[in-house]
Amino acid sequence: MKTETRREQLQPPSLLGNILRKLHIDIPLFIGLVFTSLLSFIILYSAGGQETGILLRQAARIGLAFVLMAVLAHIDPHQFKRYSTLLFNIGIFLLIAVLIMGQIGKGAQRWLDIGFFRFQPSEMIKITTPMMIAWYLAEHPLPPKSKQLFIASLLTIIPTLLIAKQPDLGTALLVASSGAGVLFFAGLSWRFILAIVAALSGMAPVLWHFMRGYQRDRVLTLLNPEADPLGRGYHIIQSKIAIGSGGIYGKGWLGSTQSELDFLPESSTDFVFAVFAEEFGLFGCLGLLSLYLLIIGRCLYIAARAQDTYSRLLAGSLAFTFFVYVFVNIGMVIGILPVVGVPLPLISYGGTSIVTLLAGFGILMSIHTHRTFLPN
Amino acid sequence: MSRIYTIKDNLVENRLFLNRIAAAFITILLLTSGLVIRLIYLQIVGHEHYATLAKENSIKIEPLEPTRGIIYDRHGKILAENLPSYSLELIPEQISNMDDTLRRLQNLLAIPNEKIEQYHKQRIRQKRFTSTPLLISMSDEEVAKFAVVRPYFPGVDIHARLVRHYPYKDLASHVVGYVGRINEAELKTLPIAEYRGANHVGKIGIEGFYETELHGKAGYAEIETNVQARAINILNEVDTEPGANLYLTLDIDLQKTAYDALDTFNGAVVAIEIKTGGVLVFASRPGFDPNPFVVGITNNDYQALQASDNQPLYNRALRGLYPPGSSIKPFIALAGLEYNVISVQHRLFCPGYYQLPNASHRYRDWKKGGHGAVSLTEAITQSCDVYFYTLASMLGIDRIHSFLQQFGFGEKSGIDLVGERSGLLPSREWKRNQRNQSWYPGETVITGIGQGFLQISPLQLARATATLANKGNVVTPFLVDKIVRMNSIAPGPESHGKTIPLNPVNANNIIQGMINVVHSARGTAKGISKDIPYQIAGKTGTAQVFNIKQDAKYNEKDIEFKLRDHALFISFAPADDPKIAVAVIVENGGHGGSVAAPIAGKVIRQFLGDKK
């Protein structure tokens, strides 16, 4: 590690490199994100019925997210570490507040109305949970011992259950995997991982028992969408038709009949991948997956190059969670996973998820650009 | 947590972490490969399947209903046409609460429950997203009422459709027929492709018989639709081929004359143009207004028509069977001459009754005291019953049967209408098969004056008369003269072209007798011969509705109207160059000469008057 640091030190900083360093922007990651955002505009224009309104709103949201990313990139990772506990506690407090307000009101309550804008505490929790666990595990030698494991699991399960109760299965899943991601990178023993996987599959009937009716339906629908083609299976059937009819080369941009003619519901939000696959075909899909893999790869590289345990664990978890986003969304749209509300990261329209995602990338950039070149 | 225990081995942690990064990346690659495999399965292996499904999703085949052909009479007067009309139609798939919507519509437009039931029945068999009519032929007021509240009725709309209309209403209802909504049974037999967009089908009359020609060929449009089945774009359209227009041989004015002349009586008039076989008049009274059948007649109205004593739905001209009475006599007389059983000069004595050898039963003549010695011509003119009792006995039933058969009695004429009945021309064989009895001589006797088993329809009688006037060239009656399509004109049905080998001298002798019926002082129908420049040949008939007891005196004023005799008259004119043959049957009309003959007279005068 010392040699690497020295080599970087020896490199004469170019003018551009200097500027970017000052901006704390990681170029490869930045380029990947910009490309994905551009793809988002292209596909949303088609999926949203060629309206510019949807593009403007998406642009505003992405713009805001990029600004937030840049701001976070400027903050020293030590600050994140310092405030991890506080932010996590605030997040939990807000989640409970939302739940109580939901009880007072009626039905699902995810939003907190703070005067001029509405805020989703569950989005914040997506980042503060791995921060908290990374902070906790970094205080101890790795791999974590059973006591730390227990506490880390508790720190994961509490927000997960609070969100699942909202109910927001998608976000709960992402929060759970962010916590699990930290544990994995912290060196959770393989034996233990296998045991958890076995336990989870053993617990499936118990989980089934606790699922709500509509959640069960989603699982059943996945297993046999044709059983209820006009009802619950409709989403999956129509999305499979869209993807399959796209073929190898796709129907071309704006050529989607499934979404253009409104057969595919939620074509700009959670099911936007189906439109993408219909218009750009298998080649387009492979391209998009490669782009995602590049981003994830860069994130893992950043994690590998991080200089302290907290940064490594947090970066690794953020990278892993981003992949879970991609995998769960595409898996659901192509009909191998149940329908849970997870958007296609950076591409789906709307939601606050894009802001949270770019905030995560901001933290990653901060980690990468705040490395010190002299050992302390 | 004490910091004492947090002794970190940086090298170990570093290796562990890098291993985990590598493991994570490999896992991610594996899972991504899973996605790729699934995508390959959907987009390459399943591509054709899903591409087909996508097409079916978005392309809807919309049937286009062809315009039904128009029916004209021989002079181009419209008997059946298509009028634009507004109908209230519903698309079930676009209505969230059907019961509520129907209830609100019912309150708004005072729709009878029956129409709602009809609608339900019809809607079941429709494809998805098909607009199905609830009300047809809406009044302007109803249209206006609905137009105001239309935004509150999603899925309900007013459509302009063409609705069949019969301007002459009851006058030609039986012959023109009507169209009605397609029923379950018809749905199974009709070619489905041609009737996808259709609600109506020809039921009876010309509308029924020429359904294929009138209906035309359905077209379709391939319409790209969205998920609400709203049309976005028409991809391909196959035009409809409108139904053929039919020109009938019927003369609606002549029909009106005949129909009006029947007046309050129930009965039928059939007139045939002898040279062609074209039917000029095909009247059955009472008729009915066919227009309610098009829009869906209410059950009450239909029951009323069905239950009426006068049976307005019954096509008497086609399906009514009557004993011919004395109108059969010219044919029996001709048989006598043709079989050389009698000669024209031979006179028979009529004492007022006839007795079979060794039998006591007296077959009475209509004229008490008898006609005295009568020749064949006089027997026809005066309608002497005893002469024909005798002649029938001499001929025997076998010869009567085979002779009358040639004129089309006992068989369908083959007219282009559905539901014709063959009537009954009795024979030994028939009686043995049907009743398992042998033929009695007395039955031959009464067959001679058109009583007994003999049953004929007005159409058969007119046809036989035309064939007699045509000196044995059998006339095949038909109604459709021309079938006019967009770029072709086809003739109606072919005639049989059969000929009965008759001796023209014999035929002329019979015809002379028939001329005398109308023109001689003792003729039974002499009232209609006034002031005409040509001669009419005719024969009256009176068919008993029930048998009068031996020696009982028949007084028509004493008996109930429904039991009065049917009055018949057959005729053709001009006698020397026959152009029109007319058969008239007036139910419970009493005497043929006084009631039926004047009706035929009016028809003949009008037709031949026109011709001059």
Residue B228 — pLDDT band, cuts 50, 70, 90?
Answer: low
More confident residue, A269 or A131: A131
Is the CB of residue B247 less than 8 Å from the CB of residue B210?
Answer: no
| Closest chain B residue to A148, measured at CA | B1
**Interchain proximity A241–B53, CB inside 8 Å:** yes
Query: SS3 of A51, please?
Result: coil
Is the CB of residue B84 less than 8 Å from the CB of residue B161?
Answer: yes
Mean pLDDT of B187-195: 79
Q: Tell me how far apart the alpha carbons of residues A301 and A315 are, in angstroms, rounded to a whole number.
A: 9
How far, in Å, are B307, B464, B563 from residue B199 at the CA level?
Answer: 27, 40, 44
In a mutational test of the A interface, the residue from B19, B28, B225 whose CB has the highest number of chain A CBs within 10 Å is B28
Helix and strand counts by DSSP (H, E) for chain B: 21, 21
Is the CB of residue B585 less than 8 Å from the CB of residue B556?
Answer: no
User: With 0-12 CB in 10 A as exposed, 13-18 as middle and 19+ as buried, what is B181?
Assistant: buried
More confident residue, B90 or B580: B580
Check whether B55 has a pLDDT greater than 90. no
Is the CB of residue A317 less than 8 Å from the CB of residue A178?
Answer: yes
Q: Tell me how far apart the alpha carbons of residues B214 and B496 are, in angstroms, rounded to a whole number.
A: 25
**Interchain proximity A289–B227, CB inside 8 Å:** no
H helix or E strand, kind and range, residue A130: helix A121-138
Question: Residues of chain A with pLDDT > 70: what percent?
Answer: 85
pLDDT in tens, B553-607: 555 555 566 678 899 999 998 999 999 999 999 998 888 778 899 999 999 999 9
Check whether B396 has a pLDDT greater than 70. yes
Closest Cα partner for A122 from A356, A361, A319?
A: A356
* Chain B residues with beta carbon closer than 8 angstroms to that of A238: 57
How far, in Å, are B278, B400, B525, B581, B598 from residue B463 at the CA level?
Answer: 10, 18, 21, 8, 20
Q: Which of A185, A262, A282 sits opposite B226 (nearest CB)?
A: A262
Task: Name the phi and psi angles at B154, rounded to 5.
Answer: -65, 140
Q: In what order do the strands lie in the sheet with B279-285?
A: B279-285, B267-273, B580-586, B566-573, B537-543
**Range B401-406, long-range pairs (CB < 8 A, 24+ positions):** B401/B425, B401/B426, B401/B427, B403/B331, B403/B334, B403/B335, B403/B338, B403/B339, B404/B328, B404/B331, B404/B335, B406/B474, B406/B500
Q: Tell me how far apart the alpha carbons of residues B450 and B548 are, in angstroms, rounded to a whole number.
A: 15
Check whether B217 has a pLDDT greater than 90. no
CA atoms within 13 A on the CB side of B280: 26
Q: Which of A139, A187, A261 sits opposite B6 (nearest CB)?
A: A139
Measure B197 CA to nearest chain A CA, in Å: 24
| Predicted pLDDT of residue A34 | 95
| Predicted pLDDT of residue A223 | 67
Structure tokens at B316: 């008497």
Q: Which of A242, A247, A334 sits opposite B38 (nearest CB)?
A: A334
Cis before B598? omega within 30: no
Please name every residue paired with A123 in a beta bridge, in sequence order, or none if there are none.
none
How far, in Å, are A121, B400, B461, B500 from residue B405 at the CA level?
Answer: 101, 8, 12, 10
| Predicted pLDDT of residue B355 | 87
Identify the active-site residue in B326, B327, B457, B529.
Answer: B326
**Interchain proximity A323–B13, CB inside 8 Å:** no
Query: SS3 of A222, please?
Result: helix
Check whether B551 has a pLDDT greater than 50. no
> Cα-Cα-Cα-Cα dihedral of B162, B165, B167, B173, to 10°?
160
Query: What are the start-end ranges of the E strands in B131-230?
Result: 132-135, 156-165, 179-181, 200-202, 219-225
Question: Residues of chain A with pLDDT > 90: what percent?
Answer: 47
Measure B46 CA to nearest chain A CA, in Å: 6
Question: Residues of chain B with pLDDT > 90: what percent?
Answer: 43
User: What ipTM was predicted for this assembly?
Assistant: 0.90
Residue B552 — pLDDT band, cuts 50, 70, 90?
Answer: very low
pLDDT in tens, A284-315: 999 999 999 999 999 999 999 998 999 999 99
Q: Tell me how far apart the alpha carbons of residues B601 and B528 are, in angstroms, rounded to a whole number.
A: 6
Check whether B527 has a pLDDT greater than 60. yes
Check whether B286 has a pLDDT greater than 60. yes
Question: Residues of chain B with pLDDT > 70: what percent?
Answer: 92
Q: Tell me how far apart the alpha carbons of residues B505 and B512 are, in angstroms, rounded to a whole number.
A: 10
DSSP β-ladder status, B348-350 and B372-374: antiparallel
* Chain A residues with beta carbon closer than 8 angstroms to that of B18: 304
Please give the model's pTM, rounded to 2 decimal places: 0.60
Is the CB of residue B586 less than 8 Å from the CB of residue B265?
Answer: yes
DSSP B417: S
Closest Cα partner for B347 from B370, B379, B369, B389?
A: B379
pLDDT in tens, B352-390: 889 888 888 888 888 888 888 899 999 998 889 999 999
**Interchain proximity A141–B7, CB inside 8 Å:** yes
Q: Tell me how far apart the alpha carbons of residues B217 and B229 are, in angstroms, rounded to a whole number.
A: 25
Residue A132 — pLDDT band, cuts 50, 70, 90?
Answer: very high
> Cα-Cα-Cα-Cα dihedral of A152, A155, A157, A159, to 10°?
-150
Closest Cα partner for B388 from B344, B415, B348, B431?
A: B348
Per the annotation, the verdict on B326 as an active-site residue is yes
* Chain B residues with beta carbon closer than 8 angstroms to that of A323: 28, 31
Query: SS3 of B265, please?
Result: coil
Structure tokens at B548: 């009068």
Measure A304 CA to nearest chain B CA, in Å: 6
| Predicted pLDDT of residue B127 | 61
Check whether A66 has a pLDDT greater than 90. yes
* Chain A residues with beta carbon closer than 8 angstroms to that of B42: 240, 243-244, 277, 334
Check whether B232 has a pLDDT greater than 70. no
Residues 37-56 of B with CB under 8 A from A: 38-40, 42-44, 46-47, 49-51, 53-54
Residues 412-471 of B with CB under 8 A from A: none
* Chain B residues with beta carbon closer than 8 angstroms to that of A304: 17-18, 21
Residue found by looking up tokens 């307005």 in the block: B312
Residue A234 — pLDDT band, cuts 50, 70, 90?
Answer: confident
User: With 0-12 CB in 10 A as exposed, 13-18 as middle and 19+ as buried, what is A157?
Assistant: middle
**Secondary structure (DSSP) of B352-390:** SEEE-TT---EEE-SSTT--EEE-HHHHHHHT-HHHHHH
User: Reduced to 3 DSSP states, what percent helix, strand and coil does chain B have, rounded to the nearest 5?
Assistant: 40, 20, 35
Check whether B230 has a pLDDT greater than 80. no
Mean pLDDT of B154-177: 89
| Predicted pLDDT of residue A269 | 85
Question: Which residues, including other chains, have CB under 8 Å from residue B271's CB and lie 6 or more apart?
Answer: B254, B258, B279, B280, B281, B282, B462, B580, B581, B582, B583, B603, B607
pLDDT in tens, B434-456: 888 989 988 999 999 999 899 99
* Other Cβ atoms closer than 10 A to A93: 11
Query: SS3 of B582, please?
Result: strand
pLDDT in tens, A335-347: 888 888 889 999 9
Check whether A117 has a pLDDT greater than 70. no
User: Reduced to 3 DSSP states, what percent helix, strand and coil does chain A have, rounded to the nearest 5?
Assistant: 70, 0, 25
Residue B116 — pLDDT band, cuts 50, 70, 90?
Answer: confident
Mean pLDDT of B525-530: 81
pLDDT in tens, B235-264: 677 788 889 999 999 999 999 999 999 988
Task: Name the phi and psi angles at B88, rounded to 5.
Answer: -95, 120
At residue A346's C-alpha, the angle toward residues A343 and A348, to 5°, is 40
Whether the CB of B58 is below 8 Å from some CB of chain A: the reply is: yes
Please name every residue paired with B543 in a beta bridge, in sequence order, or none if there are none.
B566
Whether the CB of A305 is below 8 Å from some CB of chain B: the reply is: no
Q: Which of A142, A304, A309 sits opposite B18 (nearest CB)?
A: A304
| Predicted pLDDT of residue B121 | 78
Q: Tell me how far apart the alpha carbons of residues A229 and B506 are, in angstroms, rounded to a whole number.
A: 83
More confident residue, B438 or A116: B438
| Predicted pLDDT of residue B511 | 93
Task: Name the phi and psi angles at B81, rounded to 5.
Answer: -140, 175
Task: Name the phi and psi angles at A122, rounded to 5.
Answer: -65, -25
**For helices A272-305 and A27-47, angle between their N-to-C axes, nearest 10 degrees:** 170
Question: Which residues, including other chains, have CB under 8 Å from residue A77's CB and lie 6 or more apart?
Answer: A308, A310, A311, A314, A363, A366, A367, A370
Residue A1 — pLDDT band, cuts 50, 70, 90?
Answer: very low
* Chain B residues with beta carbon closer than 8 angstroms to that of A303: 17, 21
How far, in Å, are A329, B467, B536 from residue B262 at the CA level?
Answer: 84, 25, 20
Among left, alpha and beta (phi > 0; psi -120 to 50; other), residue B189 is alpha
Closest Cα partner for B290 from B168, B112, B135?
A: B168
* Candidate from A268-272, A276-280, B271-275, B405-409 with smallest mean pLDDT: A268-272
pLDDT in tens, B555-567: 555 556 667 889 9
Q: What is the mean pLDDT of chain B?
A: 86
| Closest chain B residue to A292, measured at CA | B32
Question: Which residues, including other chains, have CB under 8 Å from residue B173's CB and lie 6 or more apart?
Answer: B166, B205, B287, B288, B289, B290
How far, in Å, are A23, A65, A66, B531 from residue A71 at the CA level?
Answer: 9, 10, 9, 119
* Candidate from A35-49, B50-64, B177-191 with smallest mean pLDDT: B50-64
Amino acid at the residue B102: L
* Candidate from A213-227, B316-330, B402-416, B516-530 with smallest mean pLDDT: A213-227
Measure B238 CA to nearest chain A CA, in Å: 23
Task: Please report, in angstroms and rounded to a whole number, the separation of the first and last CA atoms in chain A.
Answer: 13
| Predicted pLDDT of residue A232 | 57
